[in-house]
Amino acid sequence: MQGNPIELIVGLGNPGPQYQSNRHNAGAIFLNELCRVYNGQLRHETKFGGEFGTLTINGKDIKLLRPTTFMNHSGRSVAAVCHFFKIEPENILVAYDEIDFDVGVTRLKAGGGHGGHNGMRDIINALGGRNEFYRLRIGVGHPGHKSMVANYVLSDPSKSEAEVLMAKIDDATRVMPKAVAGDWEEAMRLLHTQE
């Protein structure tokens, strides 16, 4: 499937040092890794309610955003960048933690619902109900009961889980040249066959 090229990559998480290694910050951790590999830099931009930057992948400039609004208000930040740069939802990739996937499962997906993820719910609402953006779903596992989810995602993974998570984030970083060019079939094939 030839997809849309990516103009903006968003990494979801909560701001502040106490959250930086939490499972809920898997998307933000991915964005940091992308910056490390492709020499990107994020700087706080008040008008976007987040840390913003650009990097170049295969000669293409990609905008980066890490909302600093707390997860449940991520949409405010995403919508601000989209309005300012006139970016359509189908040219966005959002990276986030996925409790419905075990640690070690990472998937690219085009469109869909919010799956109960508050950050995703807020982004869809802020984009006027448009949900056709791409997703990078980084599996963090499930605590076993929904009453335990909030504490679980706001805690750090074990050392062994963190190592697997970083390996999967590395895999996702490696397929970004295909993804940003809109070669989604190849990006998915490469990422999904590495498990």
The distance of Cα 173 from the centroid of its chain, to the nearest Å, equals 11
Rounded Cα gap, residues 39 and 144, in angstroms: 39
CB atoms within 10 A of CB 19: 16
Q: Is the pTM of this model over 0.75?
A: yes
Residue from 24, 83, 142, 192 carrying the catalytic annotation: 24
Rg of the chain on CA atoms, in Å: 15
Instruction: Give the pLDDT of the chain (195 residues) as one tens digit per residue.
Output: 467 899 999 999 999 999 999 999 999 999 999 999 999 999 999 999 999 999 999 899 999 999 999 999 999 999 999 999 999 999 999 999 999 999 999 999 999 999 989 999 999 999 999 999 999 999 999 999 989 999 999 999 999 999 999 999 999 999 999 999 999 999 999 999 865
Rounded Cα gap, residues 127 and 139, in angstroms: 25
What domains does the chain contain, in order, with CATH numbers? 8-192 (3.40.50.1470)
Beta strands in the chain (DSSP E): 8-11, 43-45, 50-57, 60-67, 92-98, 106-110, 134-139
Is 44 one of the annotated active-site residues of the chain?
Answer: no
